[in-house]
Amino acid sequence: MDFPSRYIEETVAEFTKLPGIGKKTALRLTLHLLKQSVTEVERFGETVINMRKNIKFCKICHNVSDEEICNICSNRSRNEALICVVEGLREVIAIENTRQYNGLYHVTGGVISPIDGVGPENLNIETLIERVKTGKVEELIMALSPTMEGDTTIFYISKKLKDLPVKISTIARGIAFGGELEYVDEFTLARSIATRLPYENYLLSK
């Protein structure tokens, strides 16, 4: 594709670096911004730059934050005996949106994946161990990806904590509410049969 302007070409190139944005979409976004006022485009560009420059990561749970300590960790009404271990911000937002969880979080920043060169030392695991060592934590809920890498990470953490009096649980895997059996993969289906619940618990979870 040839562009009649270097500026257009450069902006399209920047947009195509974003995930899921191809050349045609990038051009559409660029032309949209071209139609906006200079003030609006400046606000767009500066908002993005300011975010990257000013964002902090919570010193306790490593979630993104505007302060040194995020507003979940500093919230005294939350249950600090319960920590949900997640990979990133997206999972924190998803769980927070359920409005059902009242514990704290710990953001690992990923899962152990030798193939991608990610070892335990690249993740926020040491600080999790320290948090458990304070003795205040009663249960860790592992909410990592249900993949080989996620399972490896859970295994690594549980081994590191085996001498500490903390309960480790994983979130339930199974058929989603409204999910139809015939479209579920065999692995999930088999596991959801193996880990079936007494009917009383099912009624409770509704």
Contacts with a second copy, residue ranges (CB under 8 A)? 1-8, 10-11, 14, 17-21, 25, 27-34, 36, 38, 41-55, 63-66, 70-72, 88-90, 92-93, 96-97
Query: Smaller CB distance to a second copy: residue 53 or 162?
Result: 53
Q: 83: which residues sit within 8 A by CB, 6+ positions away?
A: 103, 104, 105, 106, 128, 131, 132, 137, 139, 140, 141
CB of 2 to a second copy, least distance (A): 6
Q: With contact defined as beta carbons under 8 Å apart, do 97 and 139 qualify? A: no
What CA–CA distance (Å, rounded) separates 96 from 101? Answer: 7
What CA–CA distance (Å, rounded) separates 181 from 186? Answer: 10
Query: Smaller CB distance to a second copy: residue 66 or 116?
Result: 66
CB of 127 to a second copy, least distance (A): 18
Query: Smaller CB distance to a second copy: residue 117 or 165?
Result: 117
CB of 177 to a second copy, least distance (A): 20
Q: With contact defined as beta carbons under 8 Å apart, do 83 and 58 qualify? A: no
Query: Smaller CB distance to a second copy: residue 27 or 144?
Result: 27
How do 64-65 and 56-57 pair as beta strands?
antiparallel
CB of 70 to a second copy, least distance (A): 6
Task: Name 141's bridge partners.
Answer: 84, 169
As to burial, measured by CB atoms within 10 angstroms (0-12 exposed, 13-18 middle, 19+ buried), residue 172 is exposed
Query: Smaller CB distance to a second copy: residue 54 or 77?
Result: 54
CB of 97 to a second copy, least distance (A): 6
